[in-house]
Amino acid sequence: MRWKDRFNFIRQNMKKNKSRVFMTILATSIGCAFLIVLASVGFGAQRFIVNDIMADRAVTEVSIYGKEGENPEITEDDIEAFQEMEDVKAVSHKIALQNEPAVLVDDYSGPASVSAVDFSSEKKAGLNLSEGRMPEAENEVLIGYHLDQYLTEDSDPEEDIYNEEGVVKEEYRIDKSLLNETIQLEVEQYKEDEWVTETFPLEVVGIMEEPARDWRKSRDLYISEGVLSNIEAFTGTEYGALIDPAMREEDRESLQSESQQRTYNEVQVIADNMEQVESISQQLKDEGYHIYSVTEELDQINIVFAVVKTGLIIVGTIALLIASIGIYNTMSMAVTERTQDIGIMKAIGGHPRMIRSIFLMESGYIGLMGAFVGVAVAYLVSIGINMVLPFVIQQVFDQTLDEVIQLSYIPPYLALICVVLSIGVAMLSGLKPAKKATKIDVLSALRRDV
Amino acid sequence: MIKVDNLSHSFYVGKKNNRQEVPVLRDINLEINEGEIVSVVGRSGSGKSTLLNLMSGYIKPTEGDLYIKGERVTDYKESQWADFRAEHLGFIFQSFQLIPSMSAYQNIELPLVMKGVAEKERKQMVDIMLERVGLSDYSDHYPSELSGGQQQRVSVARALIVNPPIILADEPTGSLDQETEKELLDFIQKLNKEENITFVIITHDEEVAEIANRTIRLEDGKLLADREVVGK
């Protein structure tokens, strides 16, 4: 029997009892929809958390905090060693200025967190600008996206000039872009029993990209190591460290003594791609470095979620199993109803194998239809949940969500899993009725109305 | 064409430890040749239906052998019988045994569908067959919308559609009035002459026995007489 004919045959058979078939498909589709929606919450939560982790850190990044041994700091030798490693794209290394300098533009001033960076490494490491270009000359600098929002005119200290986000209120802000402006970096130091200040003129040539997270404000100022050296020359301390007049003499001296090599306090090794992060991490660990990479965290999270999702799918499958009882019933009824037809078919040469396949296909078809409808319903429910959820949270917890939370997420393969499960379960429950059909005795079937 | 060799068949009644054998057919020997119309007669309970059921493969003999078209079919499994029936045997039943939810066309088409013949080819064959049995105008009618004679013609058409060399008929005229009975018998004779189809017909009707070349008489499961009809 041709497949097309079998299919037609099944369709005709199903038409004979539309409402029963419809109800069975309905039960199956509810089971499927339940399974998918349940599991989609697991998928949604995982996606939300994984996205959250990856939002502000590149996946290909391995942060290095120090190393074992006498000198835990990362030195230039280490950086060179990292750069020599296989599959390493770039090594981002920054030195934070240990001072609290102010940025001055016209009459405005404000704080900045200043780091000395190697711009060519940063560029390779994937530093992106929202405006301008990378610095070339020694006194050219990059500024954080929000630095201008921290600048303010000298004003009445009584007045509250900061808004709830922690930046200067708009009416007090400087009303021009800092791009291509010359800014003054004012550094303070306690020298010979008095406070002295020195300003360093810097040319802003680029503004960095906005941080991935909305609530994060960047007031970074990236200077070249040349500028850092100039600052150090003025402060007389390494990394521009501030001397506190209350400090003991020996502490002061240790700040002023010169060490052989610069050490870096923010070092990241950037891998060529995500697959290599693990091997690089392992190699660095073996060499005694203290490291962190997102993939390590992701691995653990993914394991936890794999367990959660499997659990949810199993629970959802129970719904499908209940639906399969309905399919079993429907198919048993169909076989009983069609006993005479089957008897006739067998009497004139119908092969038992063909009869079994027809009934198996029929139950499989119910599973397939149920799965299709179920997937469609699940997608609708999922969209509904995601739309209603922020509203519910707002009402119940009285909180607004900055980020869009997707509670329910249906990856295509989840829908596929459900379709396969549904057809499988349906065919399994159709197995016994189909076998019963092949066992129908021709004579007793034919004698029915004799 | 069909060779029945020492064939016996028994039913068993009663529970396991108290089973009783009820013999239905005992040591039947007969041979049916190609192109014959053989009628099997006898009172009810004589075993004639059992003989036909054995030839159809619906039941298995207790003893003896059965050969059809030179093949020993005694030990055939159900699936082998299915293929064999589809290939070599046509069936006509007393109560027609048409599938009620299928139209005349679909009923006739069914053996071809099961055999896997292409749709286009099927349509040609069924249309020709409908015309032969004079039901071209009734192709879309369901069995319940046809008279007994018409239903039997559909059933004959269904048996003929796969060109079987042998047709087994169980009381084919049992549900028909005299006129339609005569029509059917004429048609059987015509098929026998023109297409050399072998017929085995179970009947208790003298008129049917009249068109047969041979009549086999069974009584209490035994072959009582096997004689050629004079003048045929």
B110 touches chain A (CB under 8 A): yes
Question: Cα angle at A342 between B22 and B84, to 5 degrees?
Answer: 70
B118 touches chain A (CB under 8 A): yes
Residues 6+ apart with CB under 8 A from A5: B113, B116, B119
Handedness of CA B133, B138, B139, B145 (dihedral sign): negative
SS3 content of chain B, % helix, strand, coil (to 5): 40, 30, 30
Q: Do B95 and A450 touch (CB under 8 A)?
A: yes
Q: Do B114 and A346 touch (CB under 8 A)?
A: no
Residue A158 pLDDT > 80? no
ipTM of the complex: 0.92
What number of C-beta contacts closer than 8 Å exist between A and B? Answer: 72
For B32-53, b/e burial (b = at least 16 CB within 10 A) is beeebbbbbbbeeebbbbbbbb
User: In this predicted structure, what is the pLDDT of residue A450?
Assistant: 36
Best probe of the A interface among B44, B51, B77, B110, by most A CBs < 10 A, is: B110
Residue A41 pLDDT > 60? yes
Q: Do A16 and B101 touch (CB under 8 A)?
A: yes
Written as one letter, the residue type at A56 is: D
Is there a contact between A91 and A83 (Cβ–Cβ < 8 Å)?
yes
B87 touches chain A (CB under 8 A): yes
SS3 content of chain A, % helix, strand, coil (to 5): 55, 20, 25
Q: Do A344 and B98 touch (CB under 8 A)?
A: yes
Average pLDDT score, chain A:
86
Out of A16, A346, A351, closest to residue B83 by CB: A351
Closest Cα partner for A432 from A296, A303, A324? A324
Q: Do A352 and B159 touch (CB under 8 A)?
A: no
Q: How far is CA B3 from the centre of its chain?
A: 16
If pLDDT is split at 50, 70 and 90, which confidence band does A55 have?
low
Q: Do B83 and A352 touch (CB under 8 A)?
A: no
Structure-token pair, residue A170: 């708009």
A191 touches chain B (CB under 8 A): no
Structure-token pair, residue A71: 């000198």
Residues 6+ apart with CB under 8 A from A27: A322, A323, A326, A327, A370
Minimum distance, in Å, between the CA of residue A306 and any CA atom of chain B = 47
Greatest pairwise CA separation for chain A in angstroms: 124
Is there a contact between B12 and B209 (Cβ–Cβ < 8 Å)?
no
Region A276-299 average pLDDT? 84
> pLDDT tens, B29-88?
999 999 999 999 988 888 888 999 999 999 999 999 999 998 899 999 999 999 999 999
Out of A5, A348, A450, closest to residue B111 by CB: A348
Q: Which residue of B has its CA nearest to A341?
A: B99
**CA A167/CA A123 separation, integer angstroms:** 28
> In chain B, what residues touch A4 (CB-CB under 8 Å)?
119
Question: Cα angle at B71 between B67 and B76, to 5 degrees?
Answer: 85
If pLDDT is split at 50, 70 and 90, which confidence band does A259 have?
low
Strand order in the sheet with B89-92: B89-92, B166-170, B198-202, B37-41, B214-219, B222-228
Region A55-68 average pLDDT? 78
> B225: alpha, beta or left, given left = phi > 0 and alpha = psi -120 to 50?
beta
**CA B44/CA B39 separation, integer angstroms:** 15
Torsion of CA A161, A166, A168, A170, to 10 degrees: -100
User: In this predicted structure, what is the pLDDT of residue A372?
Assistant: 95
User: In this predicted structure, what is the pLDDT of residue B150?
Assistant: 92
**CA A202/CA A98 separation, integer angstroms:** 18
Region A242-266 average pLDDT? 78
A146 touches chain B (CB under 8 A): no
User: In this predicted structure, what is the pLDDT of residue A397?
Assistant: 77
Residue B122 pLDDT > 90? yes
Q: Do A443 and B53 touch (CB under 8 A)?
A: yes
Residue A74 pLDDT > 80? yes
Is there a contact between A116 and A94 (Cβ–Cβ < 8 Å)?
yes
**CA B91/CA B166 separation, integer angstroms:** 9
Average pLDDT score, chain B:
90
Q: pTM for the full model?
A: 0.70
Residue B221 pLDDT > 70? yes
Q: Do B97 and A349 touch (CB under 8 A)?
A: no
B91 touches chain A (CB under 8 A): yes
Partners of B215 in the beta sheet?
Answer: B39, B227
Q: CATH assignment of B2-228, given 3.30.70.580, 2.60.40.1180, 3.40.50.12160, 3.40.50.300?
A: 3.40.50.300
B98 touches chain A (CB under 8 A): yes
Minimum distance, in Å, between the CA of residue B207 and any CA atom of chain A = 22
User: In this predicted structure, what is the pLDDT of residue B66?
Assistant: 93
Residue A7: what are its φ and ψ, rounded to 5°?
-65, -45
Written as one letter, the residue type at A244 is: D
Closest Cα partner for B172 from B27, B52, B6, B50? B52
Region B137-163 average pLDDT? 93
Counting every residue written for chain A, the total comes to 450
User: In this predicted structure, what is the pLDDT of residue A448?
Assistant: 55
Q: Which residue of B has its CA nearest to A445?
A: B97
Is there a contact between A98 and A189 (Cβ–Cβ < 8 Å)?
no
Structure-token pair, residue A79: 């950086």
Is there a contact between B165 and B198 (Cβ–Cβ < 8 Å)?
yes
User: In this predicted structure, what is the pLDDT of residue B124?
Assistant: 95
First to last CA, chain B: 19
> pLDDT tens, A360-370?
999 999 999 99
Domain positions in chain B: 2-228
Surface of B (49-78) touching A: CB under 8 A: 53, 56, 58-59, 78
User: In this predicted structure, what is the pLDDT of residue A402?
Assistant: 57
> pLDDT tens, A383-423?
998 888 878 878 887 776 656 667 888 999 999 999 999 99
Region B144-148 average pLDDT? 93
Q: How far is CA B54 from the centre of its chain?
A: 11
> pLDDT tens, A85-117?
888 888 988 898 888 888 988 888 888 899 999
Helices (H), B33-169: 48-56, 78-88, 104-115, 119-132, 148-160
**CA B49/CA B69 separation, integer angstroms:** 21
Q: Do A351 and B86 touch (CB under 8 A)?
A: yes
If pLDDT is split at 50, 70 and 90, which confidence band does A13 have?
confident
Q: Which residue of B has its CA nearest to A358?
A: B114
Residue A165 pLDDT > 50? yes
User: In this predicted structure, what is the pLDDT of residue A274?
Assistant: 73
Structure-token pair, residue B33: 């040749």
Q: Which residue of A has its CA nearest to B168?
A: A348
User: In this predicted structure, what is the pLDDT of residue A449?
Assistant: 45
Cβ atoms < 10 Å from Cβ of B220? 14
User: In this predicted structure, what is the pLDDT of residue B231?
Assistant: 47
Residue B168 pLDDT > 70? yes
Minimum distance, in Å, between the CA of residue B113 and any CA atom of chain A = 6
User: In this predicted structure, what is the pLDDT of residue A56?
Assistant: 55
Strands A152-153 and A108-111 come out as: antiparallel
**CA B95/CA B143 separation, integer angstroms:** 11
> pLDDT tens, A184-226?
999 988 887 888 888 999 999 999 988 877 778 888 999 998 9
Is there a contact between A104 and A184 (Cβ–Cβ < 8 Å)?
yes
Minimum distance, in Å, between the CA of residue A383 and any CA atom of chain B = 44
> In chain B, what residues touch A346 (CB-CB under 8 Å)?
82
